[in-house]
Amino acid sequence: MHIVTLLKQNPPLCHIEGGSKKRLFQILAETLSQQYPDLTQDAIFEGLTRREKLGSTGIGNGVAIPHCRSAGCAQLIAQVATLAEPIEYDAMDGRAVDIVFLLIAPVEHCQEHLDALAQIAHFFEDAAVRLKLRKAKTRGELLDIALRMAERAPQKSPIHL
């Protein structure tokens, strides 16, 4: 699976009011639980919070990749979002976060989860990707930009399912 496939799964969230990491996780959990009935809002929120306690998923340059594995998840699930204002996130470089790529994986898909994380992190290494995503003003524009950039991005490691 290529990052393009992940991006097409769910409409992006553009300029959401995060406020804090906890509030961001609540918004993401609420949004995805509406799309995936087998995943409850509480399960998503608790999974993201539990993973975050192991170490920050803020990878630097204003980007975070919150992720977890969940028993109610049947396939890799992803959602990209930009925030109206950057939030404190305890990122590796100390910068606040304003771009988020959420990833939820089935419990038994450990390697696929890791492969997807590697591919997503590689995608966000490109400063042009980050800049263009930040400039998007609507959900449609955000999705178009993300898809165009992802289609041109080389796959560092394929996601095997």
Q: What is the DSSP letter of 65?
A: -
> In the chain, what are the domain boundaries?
3-152
pLDDT at 1 over 60: no
**One-letter identity of residue 5:** T
- How much of the chain exceeds pLDDT 90, in percent? 63
The confidence score (pLDDT) of residue 153 equals 61
**Residue 104 CB-density burial (10 A; 0-12 exposed, 13-18 middle, 19+ buried):** buried
Model pLDDT for residues 85-103, shown as the tens digit of each residue: 999 999 999 999 999 999 9
- Cβ atoms 51, 75 nearer than 8 A: no
CATH class of 3-152: alpha beta
Quick check: is 67 catalytic? yes
- More confident call, 95 vs 155: 95
Model pLDDT for residues 22-81, shown as the tens digit of each residue: 999 999 999 999 999 889 999 999 999 999 999 999 999 999 999 998 888 888 999 999
Averaged pLDDT of the chain? 89
Q: Find the catalytic residue in 15, 67, 109, 122.
A: 67
**Residue 110 CB-density burial (10 A; 0-12 exposed, 13-18 middle, 19+ buried):** exposed
Closest C-alpha to 15, from 88, 102, 86 = 86
The confidence score (pLDDT) of residue 161 equals 37
